[in-house]
Amino acid sequence: MRHDWVFDVLSDLLAYATQNGLPRLAAKVSETIDEARREIGPTEIGPTEIGPTESGPDESGPDEPPQAPPTPGRRMH
């Protein structure tokens, strides 16, 4: 089963939270994207579709906004 749509939805939610001043939601969605990467794994979706997987804790710190994975062809409404 393909799980690409999960990353599309999470990416849209991350973009929405970031653009609308919801930093705590954005941080949680970013954590969820990382967890989905670990759980679904690169065998289900290609690493080029979601970027490299991370095995360690998030090093970005609380002051840096989370970054959404690229979603070509998708637009926010």
Tell me the per-residue pLDDT of 4-14, one tens digit each, with 9 for 90 and over: 899 999 999 99
Q: How far apart are CA 2 and CA 17, in angstroms?
A: 25
pLDDT at residue 37, rounded to an integer: 92
Average pLDDT over residues 53-60: 48
Contacts 24+ apart (CB under 8 A), 54-57: none
Angstrom distances, CA of residue 50 to CA of 42, 55, 59, 63: 9, 14, 18, 23
**Six token digits for residue 34:** 């990382």
pLDDT at residue 41, rounded to an integer: 76
Whether residue 30 has pLDDT greater than 80? yes
Whether residue 46 has pLDDT greater than 80? no
**CB atoms < 10 A from the CB of 67, how many?**
13
The reported pTM is 0.54
Whether residue 19 has pLDDT greater than 90? yes
